[in-house]
Each structure stands twice: as C-alpha cells, then as structure tokens.
Amino acid sequence: MGIYNDEIGAICTGSLIAPNMVLTARHCVSDMANELDGQITCRSTKFTDTHLARRIFVTTDAEIGRSSRYYGGSELVLLPGTEADNFCGNDQAILILDELIPESDAVPLVPRVDVPLAEGEEYYAVGFGATNDASTGAGLRRRRDNLFIDCVSDGCPASMVRPTEWVGDTGICEGDSGGPSLDLMHRVIGVTSRGAEGCEYPIYGYVYGWAEWIKEAALHAAEVGGYEAPRWATGFPTDPVFSAEVGAACEQPAQCLTNACLDGYCTRPCTEVATCPSGYSCDEEIGFCAKLPEPPPADSGDEGADEGEDEASGGCSIGSRPDPTKPVPWLLGAAGLGAVASLRRRRRDRLG
C-alpha cells in the first residue's frame, strides 16, 4: 500500500499485514544522522527523531494522489534493543492505524514469520517507487516478477548487510522503501531498505529475522483494534496448505489443491497448532486430517429386539486417527497454495 508522510513530504510503500497494521521501513518514519551525501554507511548512519504517527497516511489505491482514500496513523512500533537506532539491520517499523481497513478495500498479507529464506529462492516485489534514478513514474503501484534471492543473512557480505537483512535481485528504486518482497505463496518476506544507484542491489529487512517482534506487534494491534489476532501471530503455519478445505471427493492426489487424497477425500496436513476442521482429527502417524468415524445410529427403542440381548453402549471412540559499496535509502522526497505434502512411505497405500 502507498504511504504519504506529511511531516516530510515523502512517499514510501508498506504492507498491510492486519486490518490496522502496516509494516514499512524505519527510515520512512524517522530522521537519520551521519549520512554521507545521502548515502548510508553501516558503521555510522543512525536513526534519530521519529515522526508523528498522526501525520503519516496510507492508501490502498493503486496511485498516491490528492483524490486517493487515505487512512491515518495513530501509533508507531519500533524495533526493540539498544542497537535499534543503527540503520543497517534495523530498517523496519510498524504503523498502527486509527481505524480498521475493511477486507472489501484490502485483504491483509501474511508475513512469512515461520520459515527462513534460501539463496536462489524466487520472489516478486511491489512498490510505489520510480522507474529510474531520476524519480520518473513515482506514485504508481507496480509489481516486478521473476526475481531471485542473492544471499541471506550471514551468507551476505558483512560489511554491507546485517544478519537481519538479505540481498535481492534488481528493479527496486526511490519510493519503494518499506514495500514488500513476496514469495510465490504471496507471503511477505522482506521490507525494502536501500540499494545501489541504477535501482540495483536491493537490500531488504528480513521478516523472518524479526518474526517475534512482528508477532508481538500484531497481538498489540489486534487488542487496540478490538479484533481477533491473525493466526500467524499465535503460531499457526503461514503455508496456505494448512488452511485448505478438506472433504472433497478424490481418486488421486492431483485432484486436490493440497495434492493429498486420503481414503477417497481431499485432506490437508495438520499439527498441534494447525488443527483440523470439525468432523476431522489429526492422524499423528501421517500428519494429515482424517475423518472421524461416523457415530452409531441412535437406539430407536423398538420392542422387536430379542429378549435378553445386552444393551448397547452408545457414543464413539476417538483414537490415534481422530554500487553496492554506497547504498542509499529508497525514500522518495518532495511530493495460494504451492506446497506439495510429502507423506511417509509406509502409509502411501492410504494417502496416495
């Protein structure tokens, strides 16, 4: 979503990850010190004064302009710790809004807080930034696909990238700051921080690296907004396969979105946290939702029963089946289901 900071007259980008919660870059909402000609130096560049949340506005429109519908901020949540004012590795912030954004306007994205990234993984990026260093085309939402992760965390050059960051591909420029990079399951994996001239060598804040902070902020945002916290904030897996519908008839795995067919019906993986819907129980042996046995028919009370027959005990039993050297911040001033479940070979005859 687009962000306009009225205090400094700048645009940025953010990710709506709960009805009143926007994840963005810290430099979109704070001043900085010890820059060198606008360039970031990891040894010395720091954040200073934080801007007023009530002067920061967001829009779900595809363009940032005077006629856009804006939602106002009410609170800023910053990263914890004594080193949080250091620019590199800490360029993330959360804006709590003063009202909930309805799903009819925008459906919140899911941050990938439970699965680390891998070098070479494919992703795509979204932002309201320019298309070149001359700030051409800024203010319009764009998406760039077919991007690949260059390095992650400690696998990146320590002089330019911190353990809570990763390096992407290309194509991110001024105004894209704070915007999301997303994996192919459409989960937010990064927050655009800075890069080299020519819109190259983008460095992202690592969502997984700050997972606990993001989840804690989500619980706070839910309390403020008076709604139930998103499931990912309480430990539910972010892979959409754990939320897939179950029960449709099938003869083979390919007929199911989860690629899992059990005893003639589509199923999904489950855990202690990712529980099964009503009528199903998590089969611990295979890790998938299995139908509970049908309850026995109720006693009709017919008098035709054989005399002396033992009385049946009703109910059902539920057992175990139930210029990379001179990065700059990209703030522009002046103005599904893709996972395939793998199952144990010994149960392949049941779950095919």
Residues 130, 115: Cα–Cα separation, whole Å: 31
For the chain, give the number of residues.
352
| Residue 30's CATH number | 2.40.10.10
Residue 295 DSSP one-character state: P
Residue 234 lies in a domain: no
How confident is the model at residue 323, as a pLDDT? 57
* Alpha helices for 147-227 (secondary structure H): 211-225
* pLDDT at position 350: 56
- Total domains in the chain come to 1
Which amino acid makes up residue 129? G
Range of the domain at 72: 2-228+326-333
Residue 314 covered by a domain: no
pLDDT of residue 337: 30
| Contact (CB, 8 A) for 85 and 60 | no
**The pLDDT value given to residue 334:** 39
In a domain, 200, yes or no: yes
> Is residue 219, in this structure, part of any structural domain at all?
yes
Is residue 207 one of the residues assigned to a domain? Answer: yes
Sequential pLDDT tens for the chain (352 residues) = 999 999 999 999 999 999 999 999 999 999 999 877 778 999 999 999 999 999 999 999 999 998 999 999 999 999 998 899 999 999 999 999 999 999 999 999 999 999 999 999 999 999 999 999 888 889 999 999 999 999 999 999 999 999 999 999 998 999 999 999 999 999 999 999 999 989 999 999 999 999 999 999 999 999 999 999 999 999 999 999 999 999 999 999 999 999 999 999 999 999 999 999 999 999 999 999 999 998 887 765 555 444 444 443 333 333 333 355 566 665 555 333 333 333 334 344 556 6
Q: What is the pLDDT of residue 199?
A: 92
The answer to the question of residue 237 being in a domain is no
Q: What is the pLDDT of residue 328?
A: 60
pLDDT value for 97: 98
> Would you give the DSSP letter of residue 62?
S
Residue 215 lies in a domain: yes
Q: Is 221 exposed, middle or buried (0-12, 13-18, 19+ CB in 10 A)?
A: buried
Q: Please indicate, yes or no, if residue 269 is contained in any of the structural domains.
A: no
